[in-house]
Structure 1
Amino acid sequence: MTFSQFALATGAWLMSSALYAGDSIRPIEPILVTIPAGTYEMGTIKRQNAQPVHTVSLNSFSLGKYEVTVKEFARFVEATNYPMPTQCRHELDGWFKPATKGNWQQNALTTSEYQPVVCIGWRAAQAYVDWLAKETGKPYRLPTEAEWEYAARAGTSTDYFFGDDESRSAVCEYANTADLYGESRLQRDANTSYKNWDTGMASCSDGSAYASIVGMYKPNPFGVHDIVSNVLEFMADCYADNYDDASATGAARQHVNCEERSTRGGSWHWNNWPHSFRSSIPEDFIGGVDGFRIAMDGQSTKKSKETQLFEAALHAAQAREKINRVDRFDFVEPVANLMLTEDGGLVSLVWDKHPDPLVTEYRVFRNKVRDSMFRLIAANINEPTFREPTPTHQVEYTVVAVKGHLQSAYSEPVLSPLGFSPIPGKIEAEHVNSLTGASIAMSTDGRGDFNLSGRNGIEATAEFSYQLNVKKAGYYQLSYRVAAPQDVEGFSVFLDDKPIAQAAIKNTGGIINGKLSQVRKCIFLRVS
């Protein structure tokens, strides 16, 4: 039985057996830990949006020991028929697609009812805590940013409650994050990578490729689990880009028209961030790595019968999952001494034979843009060598060793020769010989292509150079795609340092609904 079938079956059982007096469905109240009152310095000088660092004094409150799970959330949906989203940004294919079919109960990334509930959005999380408070008469709510950071730090002053972890090698004991195991599964399932992507990955294995059953990692000193990372957590606060008007008592900041909500922590899909770092999410955004935990004024209370039953079932699920993860931590050392040579139109890679006799194969990865995401190009290689035709442009290679279906960390990469783009032919924008005033960025067209852009767009003095092999003199048409938020002077084309054409660029709309509004243009060149 698939999880979707299992979840539906569970839902049917709940509808029939969880009905009580007055035909009401009783909530599973959260397992809480009491957070003692205290004062701390909130924020950090490492991030502009977490300044100014300021003193916050908090009364004692309670916080969810775990993130809210699918099983707990099911009671709310069944009791209220809340109109849940039917699309969610959650499918993996190198990055998350903008929206695909899926909901809190049926999506590609949820495989257990004891995982954190996702694909819900901030508004549904708020509706959940409102319902929980109404049904129980207890002041349940979403935590504030100040409460979350205080509880996460648990009296420590380092980046994380367990230390600074600059090497990102200890975090896997405490959190589900982008890591070696996740990379191994991600390459297998989607032929894509955390390597060189956003914040990269930890140099350890946490045993979980995607969202984890809650409570599988060591808690912080206050007894809170998954506070570093598992899913991103919604806060009660309306997001502001600094702490200029932050409350000294830790109250949530609220605006009349709130479009962005604060979030804290990290998710399995991203590397982890220090507790003081902040992020935000549109209030109407529905994501597959976003969830929440619950807060309550005052000290935690006696567990209800439903909570006790849930806790026992969760512990059983955790025990089963612990057994399943036994073989997910045995990673071999990376491949050593990878070297590249080119001769007769062939690129040859050689590396040292791995000393571990249980290594069963090698895999070769290629990166079509330096420092971007590696893609698998060859597997089941038994000997420490690989050859292929020399690419027409410069690419990057790396190799891994495989033991027990787990791949090692990547070897040190090597670069192929620069190469020439044949004309007539297609010149990819990212195949530059040299680049100033711009950067290579992944495009938004969903095809895995790249753009030349920059933090504030391409600079007015930007220059791109390419190595071309023009077989025959004559007239050529240069077609290109461009996106611009306004009319600009455009660009000039040079051949051997001599100007041969110029193109003006008109306003295309820039970024519309999160995507570049691109138009196709062309100019004519004479090559002699």
Structure 2
Amino acid sequence: MKKITLATLVLLYGNRVWAADVIEPPMASIPAGSFTVQSENGESYDVTVPAFQMAKYELTVAEYSRFISDTGYESANNCSHRIDSGWFSGPRDGSWDNNIYRFSEFHPVVCINYDNAVAYTQWLSRKTGKDYRLLSEAQWQYVIESGGLQEYIKAGGKKREQICDVANLADLHAQNMSEKLYGASYTAAYNVENCSDKEVTLAMVGMYKADKYGVHDLVGNAREIMADCYVSDTDKLKSEGVTKTGKECKAFISKGGGWHWGIQNVLERSQRSRDFLGAIEGFRIVRDTAGEQLESQEGSTWFVNTLKKEHVKARRVHAQVANYPKQVTDVKLTEFKEKVELSWQLSNDEIQPTYQVFRQDLLNNHKEVIVGSGINGRVTDLDPLPRKARYSVVAYYGDRLSLPSETIDTSAYITHAIPGKIEGEAFSQGTDIEVKNSVQEAKEDRVYASLGLAKAQYKIDVSTAGQYALKPRVYHTGSSKRVEVKLNGRVITSFSTSSEQGWQVVQDVHINLPKGEHTLSLQGLEARLSVNWIDIRRL
């Protein structure tokens, strides 16, 4: 029999070189279709996506290691991967094969930048003769919209409370264990999911339910680097569904949230510089089929069979993670002259949890436990604060705790003399407003109100009728934010922040105030907006 050499194969197949150690990924068949997008100005338009194939899993360590072994490619090694009290504030000394998330060969490869991911797709294309590329934002969004995940991720979705069945996100287990393992806390800045996905950080690929196409982990787990150039948060998707590119693109889009965030971050268009190397980011590949709908691709036999075996082991570990108590609901507050009574709905679980009641002083953001082991669904605060206080209840099974209940405020308030300065957190009504500490402001003025889309009401007493200058100190994240100013429920003016991120004092806001007591309100019209104080002076 005639011997066929490697040189002969190259002559026969050109750039396509067969290699036994190449892992062909399992691919899902995605039909052509379209989805509707609403732009910032309210305009709706359709985005059309041709048929293509999408990898069922995020790219794994096993797959990427074959690329490195075959090519000797040098990936970057300055990844911020270590977790401490500041989360990812440790030394940038990680790489794809040296980071704390490399739990197995079947976990997503992370500590990868855009160029590393593109280099892999080019290598795999040469090896297989197929056109593999990075996933585009339009393809990601289309599969989210058409694959059945919307009922899990949309507010009010039929399966919203079952999000942990399909995604590895910031959840009860991560909230409880991150402090113990790493000294890192999920603060109020995170929207922790009210369920347990059984993981603290990164999960093995395919551990959660697939969508209708057979695609896993499109939401959560590793945040996925897209092929698209990042332009802005408001940049429109092209109606043809093509990848957005630029000659000198310095930043690229990433999507999917990741294990470190709750569901609110999934649909965000995050930007990452070309050379950014982070522990949350991985990638997923697609196959360009020139619009032809091909059947699903099974993938390399070794990979598929070994992954199934690893899933069995990982699910045994998941089965050992104990359940968490349900979030406390129906909290009620009754105020008396010298005490405050709280009650709530007891759990209907067979094992009744214990409860802790927390009280937050909104003026100094001091939070304390007033009851450490309540079990009957009712407590009394015999030493209530003379000013506005905020209460919440947490359920416990041993050292496993639920999410805090919805907060409830007392009715106490301060009447602010005008002219004068109003602290943002000294509102009379502001149930949906979080009170936080800023690390950027002076120590004596670090407490602020996170306004967002909520409304903060302030009781004021104007000494003299006339025209006043209103100067609020606000924080925002970069794009201009708008706020309405209301007096006794009626809009009297509005103001916008500048486009520069950070704390700033807004100038040139003038209002007319009649003498006497009134309710002044700030209504946020954009997310991620905070108020430290409002200075009101006569003109």
- TM-score class, shorter-chain normalisation, is 0.5 to 0.7
Q: Number of matched residues?
A: 442
Asked if 1:87 is matched to 2:79, the reply is: yes
Q: Structure 1 residues 44 and 457, CA, compared in 2 at 3 Å: closer, same or farther? A: closer
Q: Which residue is 2:474 aligned to?
A: 453
Larger proportion of strand: 2
Task: Give the 3-state SS of the residue equivalent to 1:68 in structure 2.
Answer: coil
Aligned mates of 1:453, 1:401 — CA distance in 2: 35
* CA deviation profile, 1:133-169 (whole Å, cap 9, x unmatched): 3444432210222323333444669566999726721
Tell me the distance in 1 between the aligned counterparts of 2:361 and 2:67. Answer: 47
Letter in 1 for 2:27: V
Secondary structure of the corresponding residue to residue 303 of structure 2:
helix
Q: 2:401 matched to which residue of 1?
A: 407
Q: Say if 1:314 and 1:487 are closer, same or farther in 2 by CA, change over 3 A.
A: same
1:41 aligns with 2:34: yes
User: Is the aligned partner of 1:142 residue 2:134?
Assistant: yes
CA RMSD of aligned residues (A): 5.2
1:317 corresponds in structure 2 to: 310
* 1:14-413 superposed matches below 5 A: 28-38=22-32, 40-45=33-38, 48=40, 52-59=44-51, 61-78=52-69, 79-88=71-80, 91=83, 93=85, 96-97=87-88, 100-103=91-94, 104-108=96-100, 111-154=103-146, 165=157, 168-186=160-178, 190=183, 192-193=185-186, 197=189, 200-241=191-232, 246=238, 248=240, 250-272=241-263, 277=267, 279-283=269-273, 284-298=275-289, 299=294, 307-326=300-319, 328=321, 330-335=323-328, 356=349, 358-359=351-352, 361-365=354-358, 381=373, 394-403=388-397, 405-413=399-407
Q: In the alignment, does 2:438 pair up with 1:443? A: yes
Secondary structure at the aligned position of 1:262 is classed as: strand
Deviation at 1:58, TM superposition (A): 0.6
Give the corresponding residue for 2:12: none
Question: Which secondary structure does the structure 1 equivalent of 2:53 belong to?
Answer: strand
CA 1:457/1:273 → structure 2, altered by over 3 Å: closer, same or farther? closer
Q: Secondary structure at the match of 2:161?
A: coil
User: Is the contact between residue 215 and residue 226 of structure 1 (CA under 8 Å) also seen in structure 2?
Assistant: yes
1:67: how far off?
0.6
Per the alignment, do residues 353 and 441 of structure 1 end up closer, same or farther by CA in structure 2, a change over 3 Å counting?
Answer: closer
Q: 8 Å contact 1:179–1:206 — kept in the other structure?
A: yes
CA distance in 2, matches of 1:367, 1:163: 28
Whether the 8 Å CA contact 1:178–1:270 is kept in 2: the answer is yes
User: AA paired with 2:282?
Assistant: G
Does the 8 Å CA contact 1:85/1:120 hold for their aligned counterparts? Answer: no
Letter in 2 for 1:381: S
Given the superposition, is the C-alpha separation of residues 159 and 56 from structure 1 closer, same or farther in structure 2, using an over 3 Å criterion? Answer: farther
Q: List per-residue Cα deviations over 1:244-283 (Å, max 9, x = no partner).
A: 57252x33111112133122323222233699x4513122
- Asked if 1 retains the 8 angstrom alpha-carbon contact of 2:59 and 2:284, the reply is yes
Q: What displacement does 1:337 show?
A: 6.5
Separation in 1, partners of 2:413, 2:153? 49
How many angstroms apart in 1 are the aligned matches of 2:83 and 2:356?
25
1-structure distance, mates of 2:349, 2:90: 43
Task: Summarize the Cα distance change of 1:225–1:51 in structure 2 as closer, same or farther, 3 Å threshold.
Answer: farther
Distance 1:402 1:328 in 2: 15
Letter in 2 for 1:321: A
Residues 119 and 290 in structure 1, CA contact (< 8 A), matched pair in contact too: yes
* TM value normalised by structure 2: 0.63
Secondary structure class of the residue paired with 2:48:
strand
Taking structure 1 as reference, are residues 144 and 414 closer, same or farther at Cα in structure 2, changes over 3 Å only? closer
Deviations 1:368-422 (CA, angstroms, capped at 9, x unpaired):
659x9998858973656587976697553322222364323433434468699xx
Structure 1's 258 and 405: CA in aligned 2 closer, same or farther, altered over 3 A? same
1:64 shift after superposition: 0.9
Separation in structure 2 between the aligned mates of residue 282 and residue 64 of structure 1, nearest angstrom: 22
Residues 30 and 68 in structure 1, CA contact (< 8 A), matched pair in contact too: no
Cα distance change on mapping 1:281 and 1:378 into 2, 3 Å:
farther
Secondary structure of the structure 2 residue equivalent to 1:318: helix
> What are structure 1's unaligned runs of at least 5 residues?
1-23, 421-426, 464-481, 492-496, 498-528
C-alpha distance 331-161 of structure 1, shift in aligned 2 (>3 A): closer
Q: 1:354 to 1:487 in 2, by over 3 A?
A: closer
Q: Secondary structure at the match of 2:27?
A: strand
**Closer, same or farther in 2 for the Cα pair 1:158/1:312, shift >3 Å?**
closer
**How far apart are residue 290 of structure 1 and its match?**
1.9
The CA distance in 2 between the partners of 1:187 and 1:320, in whole Å, is: 26
Residues 1:216 and 1:330: Cα distance change in structure 2 (over 3 Å) = same
Aligned residue for 1:402, secondary structure, equals strand
Q: Distance in 1 between matches of 2:102 and 2:66?
A: 17
Query: In the alignment, residue 280 of structure 1 is paired with which amino acid?
Result: S
Does the 8 Å contact 2:333/2:342 carry over to 1? yes
Q: Distance in 2 between matches of 1:487 and 1:453?
A: 7
* Most deviating of 159-168 and 96-105: 159-168
Structure 1 position 191, deviation (Å): 6.7
Q: 1:357 to 1:48 in 2, by over 3 A?
A: same
Q: 1:363–1:376: 8 Å Cα contact kept in structure 2?
A: no
What SS is found at the alignment partner of 1:230? coil
For the 8 Å contact 1:118–1:288, the answer to whether it is kept is yes
Residues 1:442 and 1:89: Cα distance change in structure 2 (over 3 Å): farther
Distance 1:265 1:90 in 2: 21
Over the matched positions of the two proteins, sequence identity in percent amounts to: 24
What secondary structure is seen at the aligned counterpart in 2 of 1:266?
coil
Could you tell me how far apart the structure 2 residues matched to 1:56 and 1:234 are? 21
